[in-house]
Structure 1
Amino acid sequence: MKNRTTTRKVWGLGVALMIMGTVNAQQTGKLTLTKTFIDKNLREAIAQYHTLIKRVPGDVLPRTYIKANDSLVTAKSNTWIAGFYPGTLLYLYEYSKADGLLAEAEKRLRLLEKEKDNKGTHDLGFMLYCSFGNALRLTGNTHYRDVLLTGAESLASRFNATVGCIRSWDHNGDKWKFPVIIDNMMNLEFLNWASRVSGNPKYAEISTIHANTTLKHHFRADNSSYHVIDYDPETGVVRNKHTHQGADHESAWARGQAWGLYGYTMMYRDTQNENYLDQARKIAAFILDNPSLPEDGIPYWDYSVSGADVPRDASAAAITASALLELSELTTGTESLRYLRNAERILTSLSSPAYKASIGSNGGFILEHSTGHFPANSEIDVPLSYADYYYVEALMRYQHLLNQ
């Protein structure tokens, strides 16, 4: 990290600390998206979510939408995507201060709260930190702090010291003994927060060990990432290197690369460990220099495939844009500017009619053209709740840059 005076501001995925010191882009007058652009897209996102709010039953969370039969696909509170809908509502409330958005978010938090005791998933960062984390940040309600700390303990229970990782999945025992997916990097921010707030270093120690183990085993020579590394829980030895949701085991699944970029950028912000910044730079280079990346910056669902008929993944693009905005703030000069420019390119594309739905359409979701799990023929070319979440987060991060 370059020497400079910095202040810490609560921000990021749920409740995070984003270093908001000297804004490199503004130093050089290089922010190209306008306040009008950001305001327009956030206002339209709010309008869309008012459509979505009317469609969501009281006991579930929205996942995606099927245009062919105008049906909303929902999920229970124990599903990994459960935190994104209330999290998006809370970001939009932060922007607008509209009480109706907060009330709807808090209604879903009550549904989600029991997952604080769920020790059967590694996704508690997504589920609780994106939702209760943002709620705590915006309301100061200490009950949300207690929910989060209980959830962090549940997440920590999945850590295996021999492996040096938090176990991801409990399914497919015939294939994997101790699977760890690149997505799990996203849940480490929750643990970092828990150590800062509780004063217990255990959570941050688990987070750091997991990040280091992932750094050692998940990445190929070209800095792309496998999706799943399977370990022997008794010895810690790597058994398999797989890409479960990609084109093949040696391919670069687009959303997985985005998770890695976001995760290591966040880990550098939280720890100042230069190894994490170095890895974030390498992942960014793999993504931005990839010959299969389309001109509009929205990747195909896997970096090994391309073509007019190959589905894009707007969710991977939204995650990447949010990560690049933060990475631009943790670097300087032409490097920072490159990350900023590419984030702007992605946000411009996602905000165009090619990817953003017209108000009242798309079941109330903001973005179109995401891909969930292509090999399983699941959620292909559809809206997804997490695409909306990271798109809105990126818009909010850009608004903060404009306000500096």
Structure 2
Amino acid sequence: MKKTFSLFLAISAITLSSFAKSNQEDPTYDWFKKTTEVIHFQLNKAAQTYQPGKNPRSVNPNGTVRLAGLTDWTTGFFPGSLWYGYELTGDKKLAEDAKKFTLALDSIRNIKNTHDVGFMLYCSYGNAYRITGDKTYLPALSDGAANLYARFNPKIGVIRSWDFPWWNYPVIIDNMMNLEYLYWGAKQFNKPEYTNAADTHALTTLKNHFRKDFSSYHVVDYDPATGKVLRKATHQGLTDESAWARGQAWGLYGYTVCYENSKNPKFLQQAENIAKFIMNNPRTPKDKIPVWDYDVHNALETDELAPRDASAAAVIASALLELSTQVKDGQKYIDYAEEILKSLSSDAYLAKPDENSYFLLKHSVGAFLYNSEIDTPLDYADYYYLEALKRYAEIKKIQL
């Protein structure tokens, strides 16, 4: 234990030295500094503990770590977290580990049966190329983008999410997150058809996925022959008509990205409408960390059935910070995201060094209805938390 604590002190000293003196006069400095110290320690320990190709996904009820293999939709998040950790701390060891964990995912470039290649490759290889400019990462990104685009059906106007046989042509709101990969691929590989697919998918989703209050259905199932909507349902929310919290976050993030890339005002308006639904929701707890489904209190009275979802909060914070840069009056989005980040960085949600199996955040929910990953760390919660912190630092001009 003494060795571990000494390592923590050494890492903390390195992290502290990266902050300019001007930051010490800023009240933002204290919580952000503490958070960065914990991040630095936990990511270093995680990189030493886990093996490339078997990335930490969550913690099982018995305390063992659930690992993500090469076909797991979450497997790109841990390498991506290491890349963000490198950007937040400047620790070159994290960059070395990030490269090692990223390159272990090379075979994902051949996966064709899911839209999740966006999460799997763009969060890992995409960040690797963005940060390093190393063209070694491009072939896998090129193949993955081509496979994602191949799932686009121009007759229906959407990218198929799953190949599950119990759906006809399912599209989930999560799919909005992977459009960023197509927009990037269109520019990087000179594929304008990728941009058209992303724009068309976003427009079709805008038409069919949202209710009058701008909350979103989780799944819309289409007739592959006619494009007719057959069913609007859920796979992870409380009910077909409820507002699954992470689903609302996916939509907010996705339309922010779509506007940033297309400048279509419909996408900006949709992002702001979803933001209003989230920010003005009377069921949002005071600390701004939502319950796993916004409608859970309408149907259920027991608090045990209403755990918080830090992953939804992290995605919301990151999306709002990006949205703030796209509008003239973005301060309200910055302020709300800051409240989320301060809550996530508090002792209630942020792990202490050497705890939580080296994940950063506690208290996320994967799939409540399936009794899967309830009130546990999640790799994508950590990823979007780190992304949000990086965006926050850029907006606040915190020198890293």
Question: What secondary structure does 1:163 align onto?
Answer: coil
Establish whether residue 139 from structure 1 lines up as the match of residue 132 from structure 2. Answer: yes
Contact 1:42 1:395 in 2 (8 A): no
Q: TM-score, length-normalised on structure 2?
A: 0.89
Determine which of 10, 34, 38 is the counterpart of 1:40: 34
- Alignment of 1:259 onto 2:250: yes
Q: Are 2:319 and 1:328 aligned?
A: no
Alignment of 1:74 onto 2:70: no
Q: State which of 377, 381, 388 in structure 1 corresponds to 2:382.
A: 388
CA RMSD across the alignment: 1.4
Aligned residue among 314, 318, 326 for 1:318: 314
Aligned to 2:369: 375
Is the Cα–Cα contact under 8 Å of residues 43 and 85 in structure 2 kept in the other structure?
A: no
Query: Per the alignment, in what secondary structure is the counterpart of residue 105 of structure 2?
Result: helix
Answer yes or no: is the 8 Å Cα contact 1:292–1:305 preserved in 2. no
Contact 1:55 1:72 in 2 (8 A): no
- Using the TM superposition, give the Cα deviation of residue 39 of structure 1 relative to its aligned residue in structure 2, in angstroms: 3.2
Match of 2:14 in 1: none
What does residue 11 of structure 1 align with?
A: none
Indicate which of 196, 206, 209 corresponds to 1:205.
Answer: 196
Runs of 4+ in 1 over 4 A off after TM superposition: none
1:108-127 matched pairs, under 5 angstroms:
108-127=101-120
Alignment counterpart, residue 88 of structure 1, candidates 77, 81, 89: 81
Query: Relative contact order: is structure 1 or structure 2 higher (C-alpha 8 Å, sep ≥ 6)?
Result: 1
Greater percentage in helix: 2
The answer for the alignment partner of 1:183 in structure 2 is 174
1:365 aligns with 2:356: no
Letter in 1 for 2:323: L
Identity %: 49
Q: Please give the TM-score of this superposition, normalised by the length of structure 1.
A: 0.88
Could you tell me how far apart the structure 2 residues matched to 1:381 and 1:245 are?
15
Offset at residue 34 of structure 1 (A): 1.6
1:293-326 C-alpha deviation (Å, 9 max, x unpaired) = 0011000000001364310000000000000111
Structure 2 residue aligned with 1:98: 91
CA distance in 2, matches of 1:200, 1:305: 43
Farther-moved stretch of structure 1 (92-101 vs 311-320): 92-101
Inter-partner Cα distance in structure 1 for 2:319 and 2:309: 16
SS at match of 1:54: helix
Gap regions ≥5 residues in structure 1: 1-31
Contact 2:31 2:345 in 1 (8 A): no
Whether contact under 8 Å (1:136, 1:145) holds in the other structure is: yes
Structure 2: tracts of 5 or more residues without a match: 1-25
- Which is further off, 196-205 or 228-237? 196-205
- The 1:71/1:339 distance shift into structure 2, 3 A limit, reads same
Partner of 2:150: 157
Q: 1:70 offset after TM fit, Å?
A: 3.2
Distance 2:363 2:342 in 1: 15
Distance 2:90 2:49 in 1: 22
Alignment partner of 1:317: what SS?
Answer: helix
Look up the match of 2:54: 60
* 1:51 equivalenced with 2:45 (yes/no): yes
Q: Give, in angstroms, the shift of residue 140 of structure 1.
A: 1.0
SS of the residue aligned with 1:241?
strand
- 2:295 is paired with a residue of what secondary structure? coil
Q: How many residues are matched?
A: 368
* Deviations, residues 141-200 of structure 1 (Å, cap 9, x unaligned): 1121222111100111111111111100111x23x1000000000000000001111222
Q: Which residue of 1 aligns with 2:5?
A: none
Residues 220-229 or 299-308, more deviating: 299-308
State the match for 1:169 in structure 2.
162
Give the superposition deviation at 1:226: 0.3
